[in-house]
A and B are shown apart, each in its own frame.
Chain A
């Protein structure tokens, strides 16, 4: 009873129809998900109005949007079944390889043949047929001598079968990599200004994007932002951002590493990426008593003219709204040159100042003095640790190799029968192809023509003239 159920299940899983049905089901679910609004890519206000106008679609969107769907148990179960089915199908295909053999009586194969006679004897014809097959990169099979003639066989594309297997193997490795990646991945973001040092610890992350289920501790060694540079062309187009991080590694080695956008640095098993940057003005505020409640670099948002942000001055009731202008002379320029802020200062919600605060200058309001001696850059970094990424990329490589092999290599076989006749040799070139009958027909006809030309001298062309004159 149990064996019968197991046998049925096995037969189900090795059925290609079942595997394709699972693939269709996975694709259909993803299609459903993408046709519905993806919540994370819409403004909250849009989603609120959408949920009121289309409550059913909104609820379906919550369930089927790809990030939620692909982490749901039902989808993972379906993907698991697809993996199992793919593995078993591949296993069965390798096991039953002989039934795929184009030499066998596979009814799906297309067959074609060309017959002609040539004046030379069978021995010469055989030599030239072998030479022609080699010329067209056919792998020669065994020569068979039968009552009805001599048979020479050639084959191409036998490795295409393995291309398919390699591709599916790569696909499985990718899925394993995805599982490893999602179970070990840590991703966090931290912000550091020029001249600032920060130990790489989870508590110093501004955002923890992802943490593995079992938890993870960052190494804790300090990183120090030595400098940051934004290269701007024509004052409008940024072409390179470069941060120099000094990293004190656990081994005691202190190294200065350059990070560019698209070029992360790697320290042991973690990668640090440059993500964003902005300006950090050094702001000093002196209160009427002569004390300094604020003397710090404030990491303000924005790097283009007109960027707005705000901050509060500790131990006071002052709140300051800022509008940033990186270049005093050219308001549209991105190149920082004599930057300034247009500030609006409120003391207990009462506006006490509005005006420009230039670098190196100070302004006075309500007994306070606010100065802006210098500007530095801040940079935003991402720190990642992912143990599955290597496996994933190996899977990518293997699956790509497999699919390329599948593309360039497709099964076809030719057989040349040579039989002595009254006026020379009768040649029968026959062959079969599994996937491309019309293209194969042309290939076979060309091959037959080449064999014929090889014997008869062929058309008048340079190669034949060279052969003639060289004897």
Chain B
């Protein structure tokens, strides 16, 4: 870890923690004026998070796509990016930072524990297809994670009789939540399609085989098929509301196994993520 990188990293961590505390306090003590301050702290944290990535990129000479540290650093950045971009159009999505930030903090902590070593990229990772593959993987998994989070809020909100009281009125309307779940699942599906395609092309260039039924490949395919089934239920069978919310939450399991299952079995992807 470089000197600047470490400074930016810790500033980002402390700002994220501050953002979380302010947003949580605004909900618990019913002080809506604290939430925007928390949001600005989250934006500041995201700025330093970006700076950490940039410092790492400059120091290593490659985008942060290998090792657990770099993947967690980039992955959490994509999740936060999703929230920021969507909140540009749907203001109430900002409250989801409250759920996302603890996950970001845990993942950044895990990243730091992985003892990040600065090293150049090995020859097998020097491919444009790798950048495309990993970038789309993060877009896909962060979209699916956000869709799952929206599903949880949908289910909670659908149980409440009066949604116009605090804190429920901080969250988007229930119909909008339903739309957003579909939007995120669709976007994630598009990104994961590209992830599978680019991974396949890269594998063909590197190993001479576009598919080798590596456990992680198979999990990615199962994840893709799972979200494909959800889309078919929603778009062709007309399933909506609670059923789709439950499916979006349940499907996260496949995503978690795809990402964290790597540590259990040695696969061709192991050097990328350990």
Task: Answer yes or no: are A and B bound together in one complex.
Answer: yes
Taking Cβ atoms with an 8 Å cutoff, the residues of A that contact B are 16-17, 19-20, 23-24, 26-27, 30-31, 33-34, 38, 41-42, 66-67, 70, 108, 164, 181, 187, 233, 236-241, 260-264, 271, 273, 275, 382, 384, 389, 392-393, 396-397, 399-400, 403-404, 406-407, 435-439, 441
Q: Mask for B111-139, Cβ within 8 A of A = 1, else 0?
A: 00000000111111011000000000000
Q: Which residues of A contact B226 (CB under 8 A)?
A: 27
A262 in contact with B229 (CB, 8 Å): no
Q: List 16 A-B contacts (CB under 8 A).
A: A16-B236, A17-B237, A23-B225, A42-B265, A187-B208, A238-B122, A239-B120, A240-B123, A240-B126, A261-B126, A382-B207, A389-B210, A435-B182, A435-B234, A436-B179, A436-B183
Q: Does B48 contact A (CB under 8 A)?
A: no
CB distance from B125 to the nearest CB of A (A): 8
Q: A233-B120, A262-B205 are in contact. List 18 more A-B contacts (CB 8 A).
A: A20-B229, A27-B226, A34-B218, A41-B265, A108-B238, A187-B209, A236-B119, A237-B120, A261-B124, A273-B205, A273-B206, A382-B207, A384-B209, A393-B201, A400-B190, A407-B187, A435-B234, A441-B175
Residues on B facing A (Cβ under 8 Å)? 119-124, 126-127, 173, 175-176, 178-179, 182-183, 186-187, 189-190, 193-194, 197, 200-202, 204-210, 213-215, 218-219, 221-222, 225-226, 228-229, 232-238, 265-267
Which residues of A sit under 8 angstroms from B265, Cβ to Cβ?
A: 38, 41-42
With A240-B123, A393-B201 as given contacts, are A435 and B218 in contact (CB-CB < 8 Å)?
Answer: no
Note all chain B residues with C-beta closer than 8 A to A20: 229, 232-233, 236-237
Q: How far is the CB of B150 from chain A (nearest CB, A)?
A: 12
Known: A20-B229, A23-B228, A400-B194. A237 touches B208 (CB 8 A): no
Q: Are B175 and A438 in contact (CB under 8 A)?
A: yes
Shortest B253–chain A CB gap in Å is 11
A211 → chain B closest CB, angstroms: 14
Min CB distance B246 to A, Å, is 16
Q: Say yes or no: A237 contacts B119, CB within 8 Å.
A: yes
Q: Do B225 and A30 have beta carbons less than 8 Å apart?
A: yes
The reply to whether A33 and B218 contact each other, CB–CB distance below 8 Å, is yes
A399 to B189, CA, bound (A): 12
A213 to chain B, nearest CB (A): 18
B201: A residues at CB distance < 8 A: 393, 396
Distance of A219 from chain B, by nearest CB (Å): 17
The answer on a CB contact under 8 Å between B120 and A382 is: no
**Cβ contacts under 8 Å, B186 to chain A:** 406-407
Separation of A384 and B204 alpha carbons in the complex (Å): 10
**B residues less than 8 Å from A164 (CB atoms):** 235
Tell me the complex Cα distance, A406–B178, Å: 18
**In the assembled complex, how far is the CB of residue B207 from the closest CB belonging to chain A, in whole angstroms?**
8
Majority secondary structure, B binding face: helix
State which of A31, A239, A393, A439 has its C-beta within 8 Å of the C-beta of B123: A239
| Contact between chains at B187 and A66 (CB < 8 Å) | no
In Å, the complex CA distance between A407 and B182 comes to 10
* CA A42 to CA B201, docked complex, whole Å: 26
Shortest A373–chain B CB gap in Å is 29
CA distance in complex: A400, B197 (Å): 8
Chain B residues with Cβ under 8 A from A108's Cβ?
238
Known: A41-B215, A239-B122. A400 touches B193 (CB 8 A): yes
Contact assessment for A438 and B178 in the assembled complex, using a CB-CB cutoff below 8 Å: yes
Report B7 CB to chain A, min CB distance, Å. Answer: 24
Contact A264 B205 (CB under 8 A): yes
- With a cutoff of 8 Å between Cβ atoms, the chain B residues found around residue A407 in the complex are 186-187, 189-190
CB contact between B122 and one of A33, A237, A392, A396 (< 8 Å): that residue: A237
Q: B215 touches which one: A34, A233, A262 (CB < 8 A)?
A: A34
Q: Shortest beta-carbon distance, A86 to chain B, in Å?
A: 11
- B182 & A396 in contact (Cβ 8 Å cutoff): no
A439 touches B225 (CB 8 A): no
Residues of A within 8 A of B121 (CB): 239
Specify the chain B residue showing the minimal Cβ separation from A273.
B208
Q: Which of chain B's residues have a CB closer than 8 A to the CB of A34? A: 215, 218-219, 222
B209 to A, closest residue via Cβ: A187
- Closest chain B residue, CB of each to CB of A34: B218
- Complexed CA–CA distance, A271 and B204 (Å): 10
Those 7 A-B pairs whose CB atoms lie nearest each other, nearest first = A438-B175, A438-B176, A261-B123, A27-B225, A66-B213, A396-B197, A262-B127
Within the assembled complex, what's the spacing in Å between the Cα atoms of A181 and B120? 35
Given the known inter-chain contacts A260-B123, A437-B175, please indicate yes or no for A403 contacting B215, CB distance below 8 A: no
CB distance from A441 to the nearest CB of B (A): 8
Query: Across the two chains, which residue of chain A brings its CB closest to B121?
Result: A239
How distant is A281 from chain B, measured CB to nearest CB, in Å?
23
Are B179 and A437 closer than 8 Å at their CB atoms?
yes
Check B208 against A438 for contact (C-beta < 8 Å).
no
| Pair A30/B218 contact, Cβ less than 8 Å | yes
Which A residues touch B122, using CB under 8 A?
237-239
Are the C-beta atoms of B236 and A238 separated by less than 8 Å?
A: no
